[in-house]
């Protein structure tokens, strides 16, 4: 069994981005600029946005954080999105999810100009991804594809089982793994809460991507010897032995599954660090107008 080290790949990619920014700046170019909209005070969202701002500093991007009270209205958010759409200094921006219940997230995401949608959540970007056209690919799926690519993990002709059909991870992951390309060219089964015989489906898989948000869901008896296992889960589980009062738990029973695998991502230190780095890659592409000329 070998570990797929998300911290290692993330640092390598960030170094590459930093060099690109330094080169652009030395040639008199514009510093890439990412903005984030954060609504309310959810602990996990605060932490994610904090990582995004810190990563911008590390790679030499400018960043702007726009905070709103949890009681903010849809109209106020839409006004802020239109302002960012029209601000020429902002190359890309994100609206951190989840949003408070009184706000319709789908309606909000539709307001983001696809050219600045570095999260790849707008239906135009999602549709272009499905059609294998240039598009922003959302950060977690892009991070997983980068890890598979950097570790040269063979995917062509393999059977990939994705567990979880969220718009942010499972569904785009199922499309990316079935698209032509490297990584890609898999036969994909997308499992979800209504799937019958999920254990049998997983046992047929050469590659399992667990993205359902249930700590320890994937157990050793569900994994074929030699399979590649990618763990997307990052659930906060109460743990009084930690200073923060919680620990991060993956969707995979790592201790017992790891000995069965050829490759596996740990939690923490696997998919998590790649997610933020992918957002930096998308922001660099936005600043260079690589997707939308
Ligand atoms: N909430 C959880 N993951 C994400 C993400 O990748 N982007 C945004 N905007 N919100 C999230």
Q: What is the pLDDT of residues 245-256, one digit of tens each?
A: 999 999 999 999
Nearest CA owner, ligand 1 atom 11? 97
* Mean pLDDT estimate for the chain: 98
How many whole angstroms from 65 Cα to the centroid of ligand 1? 15
- The pLDDT, as a whole number, for residue 88 is 98
Residues sharing a CB contact under 8 Å with residue 292, sequence separation 6 or more, in sequence order:
114, 115
Write the pLDDT tens digit of every residue in 36-66.
Answer: 999 999 999 999 999 999 999 999 999 999 9
Tell me, in angstroms, the distance from the centre of ligand 1 to residue 48's CA. Answer: 8
- With cut-offs at 50, 70 and 90, classify the pLDDT of residue 142: very high
- Of 5, 14, 52, 231, the active-site residue reads 52
Say what percent of the chain tops pLDDT 90: 100
Check pocket membership of 264 for ligand 1, CB cut-off 6 A.
no
Average pLDDT over residues 89-95: 98
pLDDT score, position 93 = 99
Q: What is the pLDDT of residue 18?
A: 98
> Which domains are seen in the chain, by residue range?
28-113 (3.40.50.10860), 139-272 (3.40.50.720)
Give the phi and the psi of residue 38 in degrees, each rounded to 5: -125, 125
CA distance 208 to 100: 32
Structure tokens at 69: 């009270």
DSSP for 72-113, written as a single string: --HHHHHHHHHHHHT-TT--EEEE-SPPPTTS-HHHHHHTS-
Q: Is 58 among the catalytic positions?
A: no
Residue 268, pLDDT score: 96
Q: How many CA atoms lie within 13 A of 36 on its CB side?
A: 26
With the most atoms of ligand 1 within 8 angstroms of its CB, the residue from 34, 49, 94 to mutate is 94
What is the whole-number distance in angstroms between the Cα of residue 43 and the centre of ligand 1?
A: 13
Determine the Cα–Cα distance for residues 120 and 282; give it in Å rounded to an integer: 9
The answer to whether 13 touches 146, Cβ cutoff 8 Å, is yes
Distance (angstroms) between ligand 1 centre and the Cα of 226 equals 31
pTM, to two decimals: 0.97
Q: Which residue is closest in CA terms to ligand 1's atom 3?
A: 97
Ligand 1 neighbour 96 (Cβ under 6 A): yes
Average pLDDT over residues 149-166: 98
User: Which residues, including other chains, have CB under 8 Å from residue 179's CB and lie 6 or more apart?
Assistant: 132, 185
Backbone phi, psi, residue 67, to 5°: -100, 140
With beta carbons less than 8 A apart as the criterion, state whether 135 and 142 touch: no
Whether 291 is in the pocket of ligand 1, judged by its Cβ within 6 Å, is: no
Q: Percent of the chain at pLDDT above 70?
A: 100
Catalytic entry in 119, 206, 231, 253? 119
Catalytic site includes residue 289: no
Catalytic, 119? Answer: yes
Count of CB atoms situated within 10 Å of the CB of 24:
17
């Amino acid at each position: 069994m070998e570990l797929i080290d998300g911290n290692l790949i993330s640092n390598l990619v960030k170094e590459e981005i930093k060099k690109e920014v330094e080169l652009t700046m030395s040639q008199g170019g514009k510093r890439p600029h990412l903005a984030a909209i954060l609504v309310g005070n959810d602990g996990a969202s605060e932490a994610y946005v904090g990582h995004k701002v810190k990563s911008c500093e590390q790679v030499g991007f400018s960043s702007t954080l726009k905070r709103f009270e949890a009681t903010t209205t849809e109209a106020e958010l839409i006004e802020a999105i239109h302002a960012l759409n029209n601000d020429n200094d902002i190359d890309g921006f994100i609206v951190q999810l989840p949003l408070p219940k009184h706000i319709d997230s789908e309606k909000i995401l539709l307001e983001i100009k696809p050219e600045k949608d570095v999260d790849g959540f707008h239906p135009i970007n999602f549709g272009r991804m499905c059609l294998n056209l240039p598009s922003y690919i959302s950060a977690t799926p892009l991070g997983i594809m980068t890890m598979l690519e950097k570790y040269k993990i063979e995917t062509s002709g393999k059977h990939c089982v994705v567990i979880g059909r969220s718009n942010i991870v499972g569904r785009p992951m199922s499309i990316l793994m079935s698209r032509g390309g490297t990584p890609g060219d898999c036969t994909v089964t997308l499992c979800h809460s209504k799937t019958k015989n999920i254990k049998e489906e997983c046992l047929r898989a050469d590659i399992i991507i667990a993205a359902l948000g249930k700590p320890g869901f994937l157990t050793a008896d569900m994994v074929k010897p030699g399979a590649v296992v990618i763990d997307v889960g990052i659930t906060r589980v109460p743990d009084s032995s930690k200073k923060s009062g919680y620990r991060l738990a993956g969707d995979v029973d790592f201790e017992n599954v790891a000995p069965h695998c050829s490759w596996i991502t740990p939690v923490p230190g696997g998919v998590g660090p790649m997610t933020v780095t992918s957002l930096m890659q998308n922001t660099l592409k936005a600043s260079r107008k690589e997707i939308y000329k």
